[in-house]
A = this chain, B = another copy of it.
Amino acid sequence: MYGYTPNKEEYMRRLRRIEGQVRGLQRMVEEEKYCIDILTQVSAATRALQSVALGLMEDHLGHCVTQTAAEGGDTAAAKVREASDAIARLVRS
């Protein structure tokens, strides 16, 4: 069980909505909509994905990282490093 498990249905709902946004983008390209209008929708889908990522990260810090820290021992440092690497990937993507 992970930090996001209690919110699983909510994440599924958001990811299905993002899938719909990406299919909408395919339709816009197919129907040759104006470039700038497509770009606006790409930005919206990107922001929605990042918002999912930020939610998953908060759940992860509040559950997996916090729990490992409470248990003490060497794994806490490894968990912090792993989370920090994931944060760096988010910031740089």
Chain A residues with CB under 8 Å of chain B are 1-5, 8, 11-12, 15-16, 18-19, 22-23, 25-26, 29-30, 32, 34-36, 38-40, 42-47, 49-50, 52-54, 56-62, 64-67, 69-70, 72, 76-77, 80-84, 86-93
Is B84 a contact of A58 with CB atoms below 8 Å? yes
In contact, B12 and A57 (Cβ under 8 angstroms): no
Q: Which residues of B sit under 8 angstroms from A76, Cβ to Cβ? A: 66, 70
Task: Give the docked Cα–Cα distance between A59 and B82 (Å).
Answer: 13
A69 to B93, CA, bound (A): 29
Inside 8 A of A89's CB, which chain B residues have their CB? 39-40, 43
A15 to B52, CA, bound (A): 19
